Amino acid sequence: MEEININTIIFETLDRISDIRTARVSMFPLDDFYGHPPFLRFGFSLVDETELICILQKIINEFEGNIEWRIRKKTESKNCILIPTIFEEIQSEGQFYKKDFWIKQFGEDIYKRYVDFALEDIPKLAEHIKKGFPDIFFQS
């Protein structure tokens, strides 16, 4: 699968489930896969997305990939974030987009390994999400 497809496949999958109101579709920078941890910030164009987010959280919690993934919704934001748990658990204090911060936290080899694991998971996670919505993705 081409990198651009890996970069946007989760957005495209979620947008098929319900229209997404956020403009960002990329999960990582194409010019430097290790530029920051892969993630997707999104929100659905629904009056109340609570039920859909709960369903997605359950589906993502059941995903068995290289690493664990989470959806989080912060009370101060209308958006959710889909992120590898390892990066969500560390308080980045405004340093999230700085590769050097993550290298300092983990060491370069381990940081790159976590990112590689996440990039390998992304298409599999998209397929796992699709299986959770068979009426949308697997109609005959």
pLDDT digits (tens, 9 = 90+) for 15-27: 999 999 887 789 9
Q: Report percent pLDDT > 70 for the chain.
A: 96
The beta-carbon contacts of 73-81 under 8 Å, at least 24 apart in sequence, are 78/43, 79/22, 79/41, 79/42, 79/43, 80/41, 80/42, 80/43, 80/53, 81/39, 81/40, 81/41, 81/42
Alpha-carbon distances, residue 66 vs 63, 88, 113, 139 (angstroms): 10, 16, 10, 29
Report the number of distinct structural domains present in the chain.
1
> What are the φ and ψ backbone dihedral angles of 66, each rounded to 5 degrees?
-65, -35
- DSSP helix/strand/coil, 81: strand
Q: Which residue has the higher pLDDT, 81 or 4?
A: 81
pLDDT for the residue numbered 140: 54
Number of Cβ within a 10 Å radius of residue 138: 9
pTM of the model: 0.91
Structural domain span for residue 55: 3-86+95-137
Q: Note whether 20 and 39 are within 8 A (CB).
A: no
Tokens of 92: 């980045």
Using the 8-state DSSP alphabet, how is residue 84 labeled? Answer: E
pLDDT digits (tens, 9 = 90+) for 69-105: 999 887 778 889 999 999 999 988 889 999 999 999 9
Q: Report percent pLDDT > 90 for the chain.
A: 75
